[in-house]
Amino acid sequence: MAEKIIMGIDPGTNVMGYGLLKVNGNKASMMAMGVIDMRKIHDPYLRLGRIFDRVTCLIEEFLPDEMAIEAPFFGKNIQSMLKLGRAQGVAIAAAIHHDIPIHEYAPLKIKMAITGQGLASKEQVAGMLKRLLNLKEDEHIKFMDATDALAAAYCHFMQSGAPLSVKRYGSWKDFVIKNKNRVSGS
Catalytic residues: 10, 70, 145
Distance CA 83, CA 53 (A): 18
Q: What angle do CA 53, 85, 61 make, to 5 degrees?
A: 25
Beta carbons of 103 and 28 less than 8 angstroms apart? no
Distance CA 121, CA 139 (A): 19
3-class SS at 179? coil
* Distances from the Cα of 145 to the Cα of 82, 110, 151, angstroms: 19, 13, 10
